[in-house]
Amino acid sequence: MTPSAGPIVGSRSFLSRLREGDEIAHLITFLFAASVVLVTLLLVFVLWQQSVLPRHKFGFAFFFTRVWDPISEDFGALPFIYGTIVTTVVALLISVPLGLGAAIFLAELAPQRISDTLQFFIDLLAAVPSVIYGLLGIFIVVPLMRTVIEPALKDTLGFLPFFQGPAYGVGFLTAGIVLAIMIVPYIISVSREILLAVPREQREAALALGSTRWESTWKVVIPFARTGIMGSIFLAMARALGETMAVAMVIGNTPTISASLFSPGYSIAAVIANEFTEATGDLYLQALVELGLVLFILTFILNGVARLLIVLTTQKGSRTAQV
């Protein structure tokens, strides 16, 4: 089978290609493409090289120390790593069921036109910038959390260590909720694509065996698409880890490690945003760059895993469809 789209591989002499501009165009486009690779390598190099001081001084202890004291130049990242993980987990606990539910509705249930319209709005939602969510977070979500939601949680689930302590409004829970809203669109868009790639025969077989619509979705379609959905979750997780502005505006910016989700905290991205311009001294600045390096490595791994999982599922879908 010959492809019906894509470039043609020609076989003319080098000289004639040079005369007609082919070789020059090749060279110029190559230089631009190469600059993408160079800049990416440079980014990794700069992060590594600009964080040499704290890496040598603190080593791996950097990740397990709770102190963050710019005056005595003693830096440990544990509260920020903790805050990043807690807010991301809270965000996933909310956004995965919500996003998966919406994706099922869009892919399995809604008629094409409604599904496309809703997807259009969800794409727009994904385009809302972080700082706007932060703005709404400060003036709408934080007061709501302080006066209504956190007291209500304390009354009903207060026996759990997560829902104790004073309700400040700002804190891990609020940051997690705002993050959840921000990553839901990613989960929906990717999961919807994955679900749409599940072969029709899978659903028909389940329905023909007498299962209800929900059983065919939950016990056949979802397991078939499981790896791809995991991929979409990893993708959303990478987004949540690196999300800066909205979190910085509602997390409370206090380096604390506390089991209570009501407690104000701090995240890696937020501390970089807040302290980078006022960092005095090389060690302080480089400690912040090392936090950036940590974020980079985490998102690098998560994105890699996500892409692999998504490719695996879509391939599985097309392979089964051909059989």
Chain positions 54 to 93 lying near other proteins, rule: CB under 8 A, are none
308 lines the binding site for other proteins (CB under 8 A)? no
Contact with other proteins (CB under 8 A): which of 170, 179, 198, 295? Answer: 295
CB of 259 to other proteins, least distance (A): 27
| Residue among 54, 79, 176, 242 that touches other proteins (CB under 8 A) | 242
d(CA 202, CA 283): 58
Note whether 315 binds other proteins by CB under 8 A: no
Closest to other proteins by CB, 25 or 208 = 25
The residue type at 306 = A
Pick between residue 113 and residue 159 the one whose CB is nearest to other proteins.
Answer: 113
**Residue 48 binds other proteins (CB under 8 A):** no
| Contact flags string 114-133 toward other proteins, x per CB under 8 A | ----x-xxxxxx-xxxxxxx
CB of 191 to other proteins, least distance (A): 11
Closest contact distance (angstroms) between CB of 75 and other proteins is: 16
> Phi then psi for 133, rounded to 5 degrees?
-60, -35
Nearest 5°: the CA angle 110, 111, 117 is 80
Interface with other proteins includes 281 (CB under 8 A)? no
Contacts of 145-151 with CB under 8 Å at 24 or more apart are 145/169, 145/173, 145/174, 145/177, 150/262
Residue tagged 């809302």 (tokens): 128
* Span from 64-72, 159-167, 207-215, 310-318 in contact with other proteins (CB under 8 A): 207-215
Q: Which stretch binds other proteins (CB under 8 A): 68-76, 152-160, 200-208, 214-222?
A: 214-222
CA distance 190 to 322: 23
Among 78, 136, 149, 207, binds other proteins (CB under 8 A): 136
184 near other proteins, judged by CB under 8 A: yes
CA distance 29 to 131: 36
Contact (CB, 8 A) for 319 and 293: no
SS3 110: coil
Phi and psi, residue 74, nearest 5°? -120, 120
Neighbours of 213 (CB within 10 A): 12
Contact with other proteins (CB under 8 A) among 78, 85, 89, 138? 138
